[in-house]
Amino acid sequence: MKKVAVIFADGCEEIEGLSQVDVLRRLGVPTDMIGLTKLQVHGDHDINITCDKILDDSLLDYDLVSFPGGKPGAEALRDNSQLAQLMKKRHQLGKWNAAMCAAPIALSRYGLLNDTDYTCYPGFEKEIGKECPTGRFHEDIVVTDSKQKIITSRGPATAWAFSYALAQALGIETKSLEDGMLYTYLKDNI
């Protein structure tokens, strides 16, 4: 069975991280909430999050690792050398990695967005372009680069689309849950 890790750091965008965990767990995907440096994470909007475990080398065992955004949280992910080394290794192993909102700045710092199609929160493409000049920015809601095995998304309102894209990249059918959560209704009426 496929398994996913979502990495939480102080200052994360809570709705983005928790939406991923919620959707994936509803789909029956074992999904661990991993604290970057501690179990208790304080989100950017004063929501406290209790993670399942703290970052360690087991990150290499997950089929997909994903980062929620939130500028302070994304900067913490970007600047953590242990996480950087693990994510570079995951990329070399051909595993799926994902980030949304501001968090693609972490993937760019690690060099993972070179020669990659990606998106991010408006404005962050400038920072990403400096670190990964061969990356290709798109304004789409979600961008999946199947060759590089990178999934990115824009921000809080795109969290469900991103979450379904994560599951789909792992070969998991999402249509039934999309219907059940009224996501299909939302997509069809916007």
Residue-wise pLDDT tens digits, 22-47: 999 999 999 999 999 999 999 999 99
CB 16 within 8 Å of CB 43: no
The CATH number for 4-188, chosen from 2.40.160.20, 3.40.50.880, 1.10.1380.10, 3.40.190.10, is: 3.40.50.880
**Helix%, strand%, coil% for the chain, nearest 5:** 40, 20, 40
CB 83 within 8 Å of CB 7: yes
Side chain identity, residue 179: D
**Residues found in the chain:** 190
CB 173 within 8 Å of CB 28: no
Report the predicted TM-score, pTM, of the whole model to 2 decimal places.
Answer: 0.97
CB 49 within 8 Å of CB 41: yes
Q: What is the pLDDT of residue 94?
A: 98
Position 186 pLDDT exceeds 90? no
pLDDT, tens digit, 9 for 90 and up, residues 63-74: 999 999 999 999
Side chain identity, residue 41: V
pLDDT, tens digit, 9 for 90 and up, residues 119-142: 999 999 999 999 999 999 999 999
Q: What is the mean pLDDT of residues 95-108?
A: 98
Residue spans of beta strands (DSSP E) within the chain: 4-8, 31-35, 40-42, 48-50, 53-54, 64-67, 96-100, 117-118, 136-137, 142-145, 150-153
